[in-house]
């Protein structure tokens, strides 16, 4: 997956987690929590969905990398670069 | 007229009244539509398909859940929670209570449930099956969704209620039990306003259907609207339904102080136990429960105009309840008996509260709705006063007695009167 494809995947996951939110103007540099009012259970949903969809394992000590879209994509890129986008 | 019952001896702060009801039923999402469907003989049972069991029948509710809940919260919570939230909002809106200024720490939520957690547990097991049963794929949402207080807790979260909230697990007597709990807490001064009744999400668990099927107690019929047929010789069992019915309960003194519209006064109640079988009812205990409720209310059987029966469409259950009613109401020619499950199926934890709600308008319209689908009355169920297939106009309705029974031999009876 390219960084752009990873971003699309995260957006798709976020659209499930926060279905009432308009994600079209999401600022990649700002934190999800600030823009979407995500709480810890929502972040666990992101972790779970990545595990379910792509078998990507994210250890608890790395959860901080999922703060914003840009930090998430940067963190996931080495873990997902060999995954073929559906 | 002055009513002859125990309420005359109680001070207004010990008398409890229903000032509104919010509901969702397979044939209506408010009291007016629901009542109209019951009087018109309109069923809410439809074809239904559920994992593993396949094609079956169910009473399915169709209400605008997003009116009171974000899709995000719906996703996080449970169907029972969503049903509870709908009913609570509807009840509050209809009560005329100045909700913005209500002390939320003095509001209690008491929600009857038959079961809770089966839906989410089945979903998770189904999900991890796709991952070779690796439990690291098990959802972190499972525990908050399946704790037994979930449906009441979701109502509290949604409405910012900080008083007591919990569910009452009472099998299919739970709807009555939730109301009874609300009455007791108001009398004890534990809350000033109670949101009480019952909810059911049971059509979303295949286990309920499968278990009834294995028991030989799951209804089937080529026409879904004909499938739920208590008292009929050709009945085949239970139609499982979802639904909810939550009442605003207040002390009479508080209701009077705000000039509230009063739907009914709760005159009496009783809960007892068969202690004889896991599943099979005991008509002697059921009759004792009815008699206890009458006695506590200072009532005689002939004062009751309408008995809302529990009958579910199983041979033994229907027959046993009719035997109990025959004993409890012997010689009372003025009593009428009806059954709501024939329209909507068995709404499990909501059943008692929902079935009572459908009868409350009879205080005004003086009509007893029928039991539908009785084409061939089972002689064992032929008690005098059964209202079959067509509603029956009555002269005056002062008292309604609501039966609600459940597995493990729990019996509940609630008596309300016109106010």
Checking if the pLDDT of A67 tops 70, the result is yes
Is A20 in the B-facing interface, judged by CB distances under 8 Å?
yes
B67, B69, B75, best to mutate vs chain A, most A CBs in 10 Å:
B75
Q: Is the ipTM of this complex over 0.90?
A: yes
> pLDDT digit string (tens) for B397-418?
999 999 999 999 999 999 999 9
**Distance, C-alpha B217 to centroid of its chain:** 20
What is the DSSP code string of B18-54? EEEEEEEBTTBSSHHHHHHHHHHT---EEEEEETTTE
Helix-helix angle A40-54:A3-17, to 10 degrees: 130
Where b means 16+ CB within 10 Å and e means fewer, B289-299 reads bbbbbbebbbb
Compute the count of residue pairs across chains A and B with CB atoms less than 8 Å apart.
23
Across B18-33, average pLDDT: 98
Is A16 in the B-facing interface, judged by CB distances under 8 Å?
yes
Nearest-CA distance from B83 to chain A in Å? 19
CB A14 within 8 A of CB A21: yes
Checking if the pLDDT of A37 tops 90, the result is no
The pLDDT value recorded for residue B8 is: 84
**For B171, which DSSP code?**
G
> pLDDT digit string (tens) for B237-251?
999 999 999 999 999
Query: What is the pTM for the complete model shown?
Result: 0.97
| Cα B398-B200-B266 angle, rounded to 5 deg | 20
pLDDT band at B129 (very low <50, low <70, confident <90, very high): very high
Calculate what percentage of chain B has a pLDDT beyond 70. 100
Is A51 in the B-facing interface, judged by CB distances under 8 Å?
yes
Report CA-CA distances (Å) from A48 to B129, B217, B352: 15, 39, 40
Is B140 in the A-facing interface, judged by CB distances under 8 Å?
yes
Report CA-CA distances (Å) from B92 to B18, B97, B141, B154: 12, 7, 29, 16
Across B90-119, average pLDDT: 98
Across B308-323, average pLDDT: 97
Across B71-80, average pLDDT: 97
Please identify which residue in the block is written with the tokens 């394992």.
A57
Following CA atoms B295, B296, B299, B302 in sequence, which dihedral angle do they give, to the nearest 10 degrees?
A: -50
Burial of B262 (0-12, 13-18, 19+ CB in 10 A): middle
- Cβ neighbors of B278 (< 8 A, separation 6 or more) are B407, B408
CB B127 within 8 A of CB B68: no
Across B14-37, average pLDDT: 98
CB B346 within 8 A of CB B296: no
Of B358, B368, B360, whose CA–CA distance to B394 is shortest? B368
Phi-psi region of B231 (alpha: psi -120 to 50; beta: other; left: phi over 0): left
The pLDDT value recorded for residue B2 is: 65
The pLDDT value recorded for residue B3 is: 76
A-chain CB neighbours of B70 within 8 Å are 20
Checking if the pLDDT of B289 tops 60, the result is yes
Rounded to the nearest 5 percent, the helix, strand and coil shares of chain A are 65, 0, 35
> pLDDT digit string (tens) for B47-74?
999 999 999 999 999 999 999 999 999 9
A-chain CB neighbours of B141 within 8 Å are 41
Average pLDDT, chain B: 97
CB B243 within 8 A of CB B199: yes
A-chain CB neighbours of B71 within 8 Å are 19-20
Checking if the pLDDT of B4 tops 90, the result is no
> pLDDT digit string (tens) for B138-182?
999 999 999 999 999 999 999 999 999 999 999 999 999 999 999
Nearest-CA distance from A26 to chain B in Å? 18
């Amino acid at each position: 997956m390219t960084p752009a494809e990873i971003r699309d995947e995260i957006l798709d996951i976020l659209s499930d987690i926060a279905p009432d939110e308009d994600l079209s103007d999401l600022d990649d540099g700002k934190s999800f929590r600030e823009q979407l009012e995500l709480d810890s259970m929502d972040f666990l949903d992101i972790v779970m969905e990545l595990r379910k969809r792509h078998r990507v394992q994210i250890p608890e000590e790395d959860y901080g990398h999922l703060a914003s879209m840009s930090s998430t994509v940067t963190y996931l890129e080495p873990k997902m670069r060999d995954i073929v986008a559906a | 007229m002055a009513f002859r019952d125990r309420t005359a001896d109680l001070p207004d702060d010990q008398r409890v009244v229903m000032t509104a009801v919010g509901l969702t039923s397979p044939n209506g999402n408010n009291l007016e539509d629901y009542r109209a469907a019951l009087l018109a003989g309109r069923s809410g049972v439809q074809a239904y398909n559920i994992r593993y069991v396949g094609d079956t029948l169910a009473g399915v509710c169709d209400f605008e859940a997003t009116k009171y809940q974000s899709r995000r919260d719906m996703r996080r919570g449970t169907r029972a929670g969503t049903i509870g939230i709908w009913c609570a909002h509807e009840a509050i809106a209809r009560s005329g209570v100045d909700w913005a200024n209500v002390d939320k720490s003095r509001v209690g939520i008491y929600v009857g449930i038959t079961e809770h957690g089966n839906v989410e547990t089945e979903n998770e097991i189904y999900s991890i099956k796709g991952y070779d049963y690796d439990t690291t794929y098990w959802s972190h949402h499972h525990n908050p969704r399946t704790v037994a207080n979930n449906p009441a807790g979701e109502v509290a979260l949604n409405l910012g209620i900080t008083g007591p909230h919990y569910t009452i697990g009472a099998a299919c007597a739970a709807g009555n039990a939730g109301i009874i709990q609300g009455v007791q807490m108001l009398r004890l001064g534990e809350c000033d306003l109670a949101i009480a009744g019952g909810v059911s999400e049971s059509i979303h668990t295949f286990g309920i259907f499968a278990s009834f099927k294995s028991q030989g107690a799951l209804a089937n019929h080529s026409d879904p609207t004909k499938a739920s047929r208590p008292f009929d010789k050709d009945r085949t069992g239970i139609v499982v339904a979802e639904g909810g019915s939550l009442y605003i309960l207040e002390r009479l003194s508080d209701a009077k102080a705000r000039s509230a519209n009063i739907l009914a006064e709760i005159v009496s109640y009783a809960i007892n136990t068969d202690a004889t079988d896991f599943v099979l009812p005991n008509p002697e205990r059921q009759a004792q429960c009815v008699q206890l409720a009458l006695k506590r209310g200072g009532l005689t059987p002939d004062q009751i105009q309408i008995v809302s029966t529990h009958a579910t469409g199983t041979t033994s259950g229907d027959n046993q309840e009719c035997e109990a009613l025959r004993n409890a109401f012997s010689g009372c020619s003025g009593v009428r008996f009806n059954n709501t499950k024939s329209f909507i199926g068995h709404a499990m934890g909501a059943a008692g509260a929902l079935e009572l709600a459908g009868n409350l308008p009879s205080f005004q319209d003086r009509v007893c709705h029928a039991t539908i689908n009785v084409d061939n009355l089972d002689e064992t169920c032929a008690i005098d006063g059964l209202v079959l297939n067509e509603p029956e106009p009555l002269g005056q309705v002062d008292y309604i007695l609501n039966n609600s029974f459940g597995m493990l031999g729990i019996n509940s009876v609630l008596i309300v009167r016109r106010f």
